[in-house]
Each structure stands twice: as C-alpha cells, then as structure tokens.
Chain A
Amino acid sequence: MKGNKEKEWERAPRGLEDFLSPREPIPKRLYLVLALSSFAFFLLVWSVLTYGGFVDPLFLPSPGRVFRAGVDLFVELEFTTDILSSVYRVMSGFIVAALIGVPLGLFMGTFKVAEALTEPVIGFIRYMPASAFIPLFILWLGIGDIEKIAIIFVGSFFQLVLMVAVVAKNVQKEMLETAYTLGARRFQVIWKVLLPASLPGIVDTLRIIVGWAWTYIIVAELVASASGIGYMIISSQRMLRTGNIIFGILTIGMLGLLTDYFFKWLYDRLFPWVE
C-alpha cells in the first residue's frame, strides 16, 4: 500500500515551484541525478582547465594524469602500505578517544559534579589547536606511530567529550522521572534509560569526530614521518609530483566518505526505533 502511494507521488506532475519550496521533498531520482551532477560539474571544470591547456600541468595535471599517477602509486610505490598506516593511526587515536571520551562525556552530562570538575578544563584545552602539540609530542613520544596517534587523540578527544555531554544532557527529564516512578534506582535510571536514550546521539557524534580525525592525520604525517598518505603527499611535493598529491587528497576524501557511510549504516541498523 505504502509503496504504491509513494510511487504515485513520485510520478505526480509538478511545476518548477514545487522543487524550490523550502524543505519540500523532491523525487528520489532527481535527488540522485543532482547529487551525481555536482560531481560531474567538478570533473568538467577540471577537464576544461587541464585538457584545454589553460593551466600548466605542473600545477594542475589532467584527470587522466592523476589517474595514471594513482595507478603508479599503487603498483610501484606501495601506496597500500601508506593507506593502511594512515588508517591504523586514525583508527587507533579515534578508538582510544572514544573509549575514554564517551563514558566521560556521559558522566559530564549526567552529574553536575563531573561537569564542574571537567568542563572548564576541557573547554580550555579544546581551543588549543592539535597541530600545535606536534613539536611537543615529538619531544615526548618520538616520531613513530605513537606520536601520530597522540595527535589524533588530542584533536578528537576534547571535542568528543563535550559533544557526548550535550547528548546526555538533552535526554528528556520526564523520561528519567518516569523511570523513577516505575521503581528504578539511580543506577538503573542511568543504565536503563539515560544510556540507551543517548546512544543514537553518541553514534552520530562519533561519525562527525572521525571525520575530524582524518583531517588531523595529514597534519601529523606532514611533519617527521616515514609512511602514510600525508608522508606521500609531502614527499611528492619535494619532487613536484602534483598528480600524486591530488590523488592522495582524493584518497582521503574517499576514505572519509566510506567511514561516514559506515556510521550512517550502523546508525540505521542499531536504531530502527529513532523517529
């Protein structure tokens, strides 16, 4: 029944004003076409500029040359190893940040005592740019993986804690009160109401934070590194291999997009009950 109605709606005739009304839905196919055409437009501008000879290939190589540079990277320069070491660093830093940050954020959003103890400090540290810690971390931790992971941790942990705290704070008070009047003790209210009510918000927060973690890894790998996508980019710069740089950037974009879709998929699987 519902499927049929949707189909009818998809086929119904529309005027131009239907597509430009605030927040009104548009047909799925149109959505897909528009989404793809934004990529196509980007590719078109790039192609015109490069194949048309408007810019020096040294500064901006054509899509074809970037593609060939990518093939070379994988075949001859072991780019897979670079990708894996970047993924390893991002995920390690992110997972450690999440393992500590999610419980701490929940505490902050739940207990005023925890909030008073931690919020001012965290609010202060989060304004310190993660990249500014690089020299310090090199001194403390050397130039290996641990230093890179520490940068990711600093870049994501403090934001994550504050965002999770907000999620916990936004749980409807009456829901907690209802649990109390059903006989729940404080611990049960936290475990059986506050936590499940916060979970969707937490997964959504993790999705946003992992995106930021990807931006920090490059900064971390640009300095004192011997592997990783960032390392590949900085060494390509020294040899003026612009194609490699662009391919590296595109790879990060793809990896970010994949993680994003993974979290969206996870969200839909875990929380079919969210309105």
Chain B
Amino acid sequence: MEEGIKLHIHNVSKTYRSDGHEVLAVDEIDLKIRNKEFATIIGPSGCGKSTLLRIVAGLVKPTKGIVRLDGNVISRPGYDRGMVFQSYTLFPWLTVKENIQFGLEISGMPKAQQEEIAQQFIERVGLKGFEKSYPKGLSGGMKQRVAIARALANNPAILLLDEPFGALDAQTRALMQELLTQVWEELHKTILFVTHDVEEAIFLSDRVFIMTARPGKIKAEIDIPLERPRSYEIKATESFLNLKKQALRLIREEAIKAIQCRE
C-alpha cells in the first residue's frame, strides 16, 4: 500500500449493455485519493461519475479493474464506505434519531452508546430539537443533513457523496456547503464528492478531478490550495475566481462534447 493513499481506483472500466449494444460508461480510470483528503469529481451529466462512485461503494461491479480501500480490494458494499445520494433516502418510518442510529444498531452497538453518538451528530449538523421528527416534516436541506449525519455516525473510512445538494435551492445549497466544510474541518474524514457544480467543487475540495464526457475518463486534476477554515466569503476572492475560471474552461469543453453526443 502506497504511503498516505486511502482509496485507489485502479484502471476501472464499466460497460453497460443497453438495447443490445454496449455503452462504455467509465473508461480506464486510475485515481488515488489521499488520506483525510476532500476530493471532488466534476463532470458533465451522464459522464459516468455517479457510476464511478457506485463502484467505489460496491453497489456496481466494475467490468475491469479493482478498487482498493486501505489496501483491501472492494467486492461489495460495507459500512466503511458511507454514501449519501442525491435523492432523499431517509427511512420515513424512523425518526431523525432512529435514522442516524440505523447503522449503529445493525452493527450491534449497545443502545446507550448508539444514542450518545446519534445525539452528538444531531448537534453537529444543527438538528437539535428535531430528534423525534419523522422525515416527512423536514425540508430538503434538513433531510440531507440527517443523511450526512447518518453516514458519518457510522464512522466510515471514506464518505461518498453523490450530488447530495443537487435537489436543493441555491440558498440552501450554499448553506449546506458551509456546513459540510465545517464538519469536514472538524472531523477530517476522507471524502469523495461528486457534483456538476464548479463553484461547489472548488469551495469544498482539496483536489478537483475533471471528468470527460462519456466515456468517462479523468481529463485534468486541479489542486485547490485555498486556506482553511473556509467561509462563504472566499468565493469572491481572486484566487477562488482564478481556479473557477480554469475549471470552467476545462469543463465547458466537455459539456459541449456531451451535448453534441446526445444530438
């Protein structure tokens, strides 16, 4: 195992069969995510970035290549790779607290300890007072906060986030980005984040990978040396805007390709 590498996506390809012909969704991707790093994959829609994340989660089997987490080959989903989806996936029959305890209960942890950890994460994502609410009474932003808390409470080795703020309005989205940055700066959990929003990617990440239009490959890698802790004001600084310009140029080429592809 290489020093400081948490996740190694090793020459991974994924081919889907649809309507009798084969579609190459992910093409020979080789990616190393460092320990305690916030890494983001950004690309046009339909470029296979979600597929890649699902392969890491163990929900989809790659056609070629392997994924290693802490040196161990991944073969199926597990609690060490917590995932948050774009769609709301809270269990509607469980309260906020019971949702956060779900993974802990399954692992057989004593009840008192479960509750302590759940309470700690409820406070961390700012949902104190909503412990006993059912998901139906929560806004979209609150639901995603619970989903993030639920994944983090399980103490995974890496957190996978698949456009978790994609369904939220712009203001809520910005607040959620700040919350996630804050949580990350406290916990320093390795995160692999997927989005198509350039600003979001730069604001959150240490490193941003830009994916090509289908078949998905890694086209470029941008280091984000912005100092931490980060606040929303950073989005207006010159260094931020320069990074954004750089990323936008790269992603625009791919977006154009993706559109032409579909036409």
A contacts, CB < 8 Å to B: 172, 174-175, 177-184, 188, 192-193, 196-197, 199, 271-275
* Chain B residue at minimal CB-CB distance from A183: B79
Q: Pick the residue among B59, B91, B92, B135 that contacts A181 (CB under 8 A).
A: B59
Q: Pick the residue among B59, B81, B106 that contacts A188 (CB under 8 A).
A: B106
Q: Pick the residue among B77, B91, B92 that contacts A180 (CB under 8 A).
A: B77
Report chain A residues within 8 Å CB of B102.
Answer: 179, 182, 192
Are B83 and A178 in touch, CB under 8 angstroms? yes
Are B83 and A181 in touch, CB under 8 angstroms? yes
Closest chain A CB from B79 CB (angstroms)? 3
Q: Pick the residue among B59, B77, B106 that contacts A192 (CB under 8 A).
A: B106
Are A182 and B92 in touch, CB under 8 angstroms? no
Report chain A residues within 8 Å CB of B106.
Answer: 182-184, 188, 192
Are B91 and A174 in touch, CB under 8 angstroms? no
Q: For chain B, residues 187 to 221, give those with C-beta under 8 angstroms from any C-beta of chain A.
A: none
Q: How distant is the Cα of A181 from the Cα of B156 in the complex, in angstroms?
A: 9
Are B93 and A181 in touch, CB under 8 angstroms? no
B62 within 8 A of A: no
B26 within 8 A of A: no
Report chain B residues within 8 Å CB of A274.
Answer: 92, 136
A-B contact pairs, 27 of them (CB 8 A): A172-B87, A172-B89, A174-B85, A174-B89, A177-B57, A178-B89, A179-B102, A180-B59, A180-B76, A181-B82, A181-B83, A182-B102, A182-B103, A182-B106, A182-B150, A182-B151, A182-B154, A183-B79, A183-B103, A183-B107, A183-B154, A184-B103, A184-B106, A197-B92, A272-B134, A273-B92, A273-B136
- Known A-B contacts: A181-B78, A193-B91. Give 18 more (CB < 8 A): A175-B91, A177-B57, A177-B83, A178-B83, A180-B77, A181-B79, A181-B81, A181-B160, A182-B103, A183-B103, A183-B107, A183-B154, A184-B106, A196-B93, A197-B91, A271-B93, A273-B134, A273-B135
Q: How distant is the Cα of A199 from the Cα of B94 in the complex, in angstroms?
A: 13
Report chain B residues within 8 Å CB of A177.
Answer: 57, 59, 77, 83, 85, 89
Report chain B residues within 8 Å CB of A272.
Answer: 134
* Chain B residue at minimal CB-CB distance from A271: B93
Sorted nearest first, the 3 A-B pairs with minimum C-beta distance are A183-B79, A182-B103, A180-B77
Closest chain A CB from B201 CB (angstroms)? 22
Closest chain A CB from B150 CB (angstroms)? 7
Closest chain A CB from B63 CB (angstroms)? 20
* Chain B residue at minimal CB-CB distance from A272: B134
CB-CB under 8 A for A178 and B107, given A196-B93, A273-B134, A275-B136:
no
Report chain B residues within 8 Å CB of A184.
Answer: 103, 106
Q: How distant is the Cα of A181 from the Cα of B93 in the complex, in angstroms?
A: 19
